[in-house]
Amino acid sequence: MTELSLDPLALIRATPEALNVPGGMLTKQGPQKYVGAVPAISGTLFFNDAHLPEVRKAICDCFDAYLIAATPQLTWLLREDPPDGLDRMAFEKAKPLKTMLAKMDEDDIVSFCYTSGKAVHDAGPWEFQVVGIPAWRAKMGGWGLCGLRFSVPLLFVEEYPDAFRELFVTCANHLRAEHGYAGHALVLSALRFDENQAFEAYLTSKMRGFDAGGLVSGAVNAHLGIKTVSWLTAINRGYLEKVGGKSTLRSELPMDWFGLYDFDTGIIIQAGPQPEAAPIDAPLPARMVLPDMVLQSIRTPEVRLHYASAESEPRLIGKSAELWLTRFDVPEEQLLAFKAQLLTEPKLRAKPSNTFIN
């Protein structure tokens, strides 16, 4: 008799498509015959001035670093209102990102989304997206920040967590990031984003470690504060000083469980050796609670995650969005208990794991 493997990683290696979520799950029309969402590990960074030549060069540098470090299997390029060319095309037919950005005016919207689905409307675990507000809005102020997000399959970070972290640090350096985070996320179909928000709302109600909301909606309020803490959390120097500086972080976040990595305009906190999904049927992880409480004062007071549904489908709006924002908050009197719980949680690796980045 052949024994079935109980190793989830072995199952993912054998059948990675088993993670694909059919489009339209939990909607009125029901499951559709396309890939609506795929679990992945994503890094999100918010930054300023995507209309400036030097920042556009930094965006290209991030994309080049992503291609080298992650060797993604990209298939499509999608753009919003491109000043030249098509708004969707096969990846192999697209011009280099550097060339396309060089032809754009400062008042053109920066909007590029590289995906890895088989069909153009399919989601895939490899994705690189960047959005930037035009010059006239940036000069006016109050329109939020620009955003960049890259995603890789779960197995990539399982096997090469240091490579992902170094890629995140590299991009934060290039962009002179204001803040950002990296961890578990769903990559939704870029062309059918709205009809797959219902499943994301459901999953985040079961897994507290998953990100929620798109890059565009996240950038809208990004100038008001950080959105969340995660496996990796980036904050600029201004935010660092507001929470008491690096000494406070070192005091509240013990180095056996938390790593601190400097980048050009701030610091990145690593919580544990791997991303944490934080299922609701398990205790709140101390390595999420402790940084959340330290950084609570610099968190945005409001967040935009999902759009309302006319069909009363699950969405993270209103009170449910507020609950997601505060999902790792605990009463101050419980902090000592979580510091004790931390002793039972996985420590950072003593030695670096395999890495793709020198």
Tens digit of each residue's pLDDT (9 = 90 or more) over 146-201: 999 999 999 999 999 999 999 999 999 999 999 999 999 999 999 999 999 999 99
State the Cα–Cα distance between residues 327 and 321, nearest whole angstrom: 10
Tens digit of each residue's pLDDT (9 = 90 or more) over 95-140: 999 999 999 999 999 999 999 999 999 999 999 999 999 999 999 9
Tens digit of each residue's pLDDT (9 = 90 or more) over 306-354: 988 877 799 999 999 999 999 999 999 999 999 999 999 999 986 544 3
Tens digit of each residue's pLDDT (9 = 90 or more) over 153-164: 999 999 999 999
Predicted pLDDT at 47: 98
Predicted pLDDT at 143: 92
Q: Judge residue 21's burial from the number of C-beta atoms within 10 Å of its C-beta, 0-12 exposed, 13-18 middle, 19 or more buried.
A: buried
Predicted pLDDT at 13: 81
For residue 35, how many other CB atoms are within 10 A of its CB?
24
Residue 280 and residue 206 in contact, taking contact as beta carbons nearer than 8 Å: yes
pLDDT at 5 over 50: no
- Over range 204-214, report the average pLDDT: 96
Tens digit of each residue's pLDDT (9 = 90 or more) over 66-88: 999 999 999 999 999 999 989 99
